[in-house]
Structure 1
């Protein structure tokens, strides 16, 4: 598809935010390549190199997921006081140190804090990248987000390919070489981030009236006490369930409830990666502004419900029909992901008070981390246990919650607009 390659290349050459945005996108690609290497190899590394059994491995990954939840609000709070660029470099260096420790730490008690700090640094880094993009891209943040996801998916795919080479060799030395590849990615990413300039907006921002008088320092209210925003954050957790459906639900349903061959499972990731790279920019162009994002939330629920419906009826039939149905479900869940990835970020920014945006975005970033922790448990412990009815119930629930999110978002936008609307001056036309 030449039009896709040329369009994406043109956007990468002149992304929203200019030179600094281009360097940051390159840093993200490098970072995600290393992350892709480790994501593909981590479970096997802990199993065959460190000798962890399934129980301890599950505990280790669970602790890491919990630590990741804390990374987003900590990063957001820190970004209110310190430079985003410096904090992001610190996150890369933290993960460089913890991943290096994995080469020498083989005791379970030592692995727990190492993995926890790695996951905390990873989630904090993603939140800081989001803050950086929000500041440099401005109103074009949806386009930047689309470029970011396209670049990130390309990096993940490249990293998975590198990991496949090491896993094919299968020696301890090969596994440790994959860790070194991840470590190298953090070095390169930190060096690239250091070449960017700090975007305007960190720390205390002093706003001015038209007459030049300075306002008070930015709103220091806590997002944790903002019930309207916390409602958005809570509702955004089920709006991220496409991630667990793709990574956990589809493979397990195929293996245990259909006649489709197991070789179809890798095609889910391939299809997802290709579609994100090809379509993310076009979807972002359709989702313009907060009202467009709220409309996309409604379509997200419908699309994910359609995926659940396909999974509910795919239990019968032969291998060919089951394979096609499962690929159709993967297509639908990917379309849901394309809608969510842009709308979730746009709403996290638009529904936050502009002068306390960093701490608010840090709290909003928890939604993905919480979903990654609870989503697999929901699917394996409730949805798939209930069989086809479980999928139908999940689809209906997400669709309903999407409508609730849309209505709550519209009320929130109206409240923010009334809060920031200028008061009429005495003597002005229409004033009294």
Structure 2
């Protein structure tokens, strides 16, 4: 599965680096059409996570994931021959819907496979994903340097090929038996002995549990949206702030991606090892807020500070944004899993996945329309706001963890109990014959 994710992200990196230029120079879309295209894709992506979680309660995750890869494969292939804007709008939305659904399904599958070691698996997953993104961006750079229509088509086909290979790898990956997203209840059989997996005892349809009626969990998802802003800060805020408000050289922009990729690959496992459970993950949320605040403070100091000082501050901000990402990567999904009721975990995790999708749509607008428009004060306000919300999220998460019922004891073969030796019968005590006789016994009154 890790190889599958790396290939998937490599293709996504190719597409992310070339799609805007493809639609602009090859298809011929204007700025308004391009904005509408990206906006529709973002809205469709928001729906992908809860839809995937809803379906995962009813069908095999493995089958759904293969379907997502094949849907994206078909949509990209059709893009090669379509120029009508309305059709492109639909295809691009379907591609992003499948992309967000696939990411959620990958994490659901990882939750099933990794069990209590999901934080370690998440670290390996993010490391492989970042390596895949870097590889994809490098391949895209070669195609963009050529710049011909044929080169763009090759890049699209490379992304489509990554989906095809990913689907084949998932098909060869066996889905674990008897280790669903829900924990076993006392009395549930883990394996019938005939190779059949015990049904998920807590599917949403069976229990009626719904994340949309759980106000506490929805509050967690809502607060998790600003806990994903490091993505927009690194990908949108830093480059645009450098170009429009500092004297730092534009050649510094690729260094942000290099710093992020290298640090995530090198440190993700070490950071994950320090956050083994949900309570530590709640502490990591608070650290996320402080890291983001420090990053915003550095950005606020860059205007008018000269080339070298601005460059150093921007690089420090990139390091801090990456540190915030490391905190987020070990806290967001761990809390999403731990705070969800075990009997409807897939549906809950699908809703939790919306936080990242909403941030991807609203985060760039927040940075460009409000934060950077307000100048240095905007960055300081953003940092203080995220830090404050991170403390609220930490406290709310800990309180919900305290209220959750204890996990049921694992079921398995019952150890034989040694027979208890029979107790010798006790001789009956002769009754007291009379009140007078009873009065002679110390401590008794007639």
So what's the TM-score if we normalise by structure 1? 0.89
Q: CA 1:215/1:79 → structure 2, altered by over 3 Å: closer, same or farther?
A: closer
Deviation at 1:316, TM superposition (A): 2.1
Partner of 1:183: 160
Partner of 1:42: 19
What does 1:62-141 correspond to in 2, within 5 Å? 62-141=39-118
Deviation at 1:201, TM superposition (A): 6.0
What does 1:223-302 correspond to in 2, within 5 Å? 223-302=211-290
Partner of 2:444: none
Partner of 1:169: 146
Query: Is the 1:81–1:202 contact (alpha carbons within 8 Å) kept by the matching residues of 2?
Result: no
Q: Deviations over 1:98-133 (max 9, x none)?
A: 000110111111100000000000000000000000
What does 1:307-318 correspond to in 2, within 5 Å? 307-318=295-306
Q: CA 1:301/1:47 → structure 2, altered by over 3 Å: closer, same or farther?
A: same
Count of equivalent residues? 399
What does 1:313-324 correspond to in 2, within 5 Å? 313-324=301-312
Query: Is the 1:268–1:327 contact (alpha carbons within 8 Å) kept by the matching residues of 2?
Result: yes
Partner of 1:195: 172
Partner of 2:396: 408
Flag as ranges the 4+ runs of structure 1 deviating above 3 A. 200-208, 210-217, 418-421
Equivalent position SS for 1:189: helix
Query: Is the 2:183–2:342 contact (alpha carbons within 8 Å) kept by the matching residues of 1?
Result: no
Q: Say which of 303, 309, 320 aligns to 2:291.
A: 303
Counterpart-to-counterpart distance in 2, 1:231 and 1:399? 17
Counterpart-to-counterpart distance in 2, 1:74 and 1:179? 26
Counterpart-to-counterpart distance in 2, 1:307 and 1:86? 41
Q: Deviations over 1:211-240 (max 9, x none)?
A: 979999413311010011111000000000
Counterpart-to-counterpart distance in 1, 2:65 and 2:186? 33
Equivalent position SS for 1:32: helix
Deviation at 1:252, TM superposition (A): 0.9
Q: CA 1:368/1:397 → structure 2, altered by over 3 Å: closer, same or farther?
A: same
Counterpart-to-counterpart distance in 2, 1:33 and 1:150? 12
Equivalent position SS for 2:29: coil
Partner of 2:421: none
Give the RMSD, CA atoms, in angstroms.
2.1
Report the structure number with the largest CA radius of gyration: 2
What does 1:45-56 correspond to in 2, within 5 Å? 45-56=22-33
Counterpart-to-counterpart distance in 1, 2:306 and 2:187? 70
Name the structure with the higher helix share.
1
Q: CA 1:140/1:203 → structure 2, altered by over 3 Å: closer, same or farther?
A: closer
Q: CA 1:216/1:276 → structure 2, altered by over 3 Å: closer, same or farther?
A: closer
Q: Is 1:355 aligned to 2:332, yes or no? A: no
Counterpart-to-counterpart distance in 1, 2:184 and 2:125? 30
Q: Deviations over 1:44-100 (max 9, x none)?
A: 000001001111101100100100000000000000010000000000000000000
- Unaligned runs of at least 5 residues, structure 2: 191-197, 410-446
Partner of 2:355: 367
So what's the TM-score if we normalise by structure 2? 0.86
Counterpart-to-counterpart distance in 2, 1:63 and 1:221? 30
Counterpart-to-counterpart distance in 2, 1:370 and 1:205? 27
Counterpart-to-counterpart distance in 2, 1:281 and 1:27? 19
